[in-house]
Amino acid sequence: MTVLNLKEIFERADSFESRYLIGPESLSFPADLGDLKEPVEVYVRIVKDNKDYRVFLNIVGSVELECSRCLEVFSKDISQEKEKHLSYYPREEHVALAPEDLEVSFMEEPDLLNLEDLVREEIILSIPMKPLCSPDCTGLHHQALLFEEEKGAPHDPRFAILRNLLAR
């Protein structure tokens, strides 16, 4: 687990920069979302911002996803640059959020940043709800019709409308 003690870091310096290689097993990625096969490279830069912190992330890697149309597995680039505001949990009972507050991540423990949690969050947010292998993916039905025609199988009348559309 990659945990950064921000209090110790900022007693010695004004900013922090480092590179990390985080393995798939460390990110404990949800299996139903996709599959990380290779480590993710992360460059992180942190600067103090009053009592909070600004975290600049550069994430490089890819994830294997299943196309929601044709069900084929494909690789999606998850490389991204992100700036996050890192803060302590609010102490007030009622908090009003401003639009800029939506980019805030909260530390579980004071002055400790779990880098793997932050990277996992950004990767999950970058994955589309309905991943497509390509924007013009024709889907499973088109492949089933082609398979039927190749095998010389009798045509299913339920696919007649689709077959007419493909014939155009």
Q: Which residue carries 């921000």 as its tokens?
A: 6
- State yes or no: pLDDT of 149 exceeds 60: no
Alpha carbons within 13 angstroms on the beta-carbon side of residue 165 total 8
**pLDDT at position 56 over 90:** yes
Q: How far is C-alpha 128 from the geometric centre of its chain's CA atoms?
A: 8
Any idea where the domains of the chain sit in the sequence? Answer: 3-135, 138-168
By CB atoms closer than 10 A (0-12, 13-18, 19+), residue 53 is buried
pLDDT at 3: 86
* CB burial of residue 22 (10 Å; 0-12, 13-18, 19+): buried
Mean pLDDT lowest for which of 27-36, 58-67, 73-82, 97-106? Answer: 97-106
Given pLDDT bands bounded at 50, 70 and 90, which one contains residue 30? Answer: confident
- Give the sign of the dihedral formed by CA 10, CA 80, CA 85, CA 123: negative
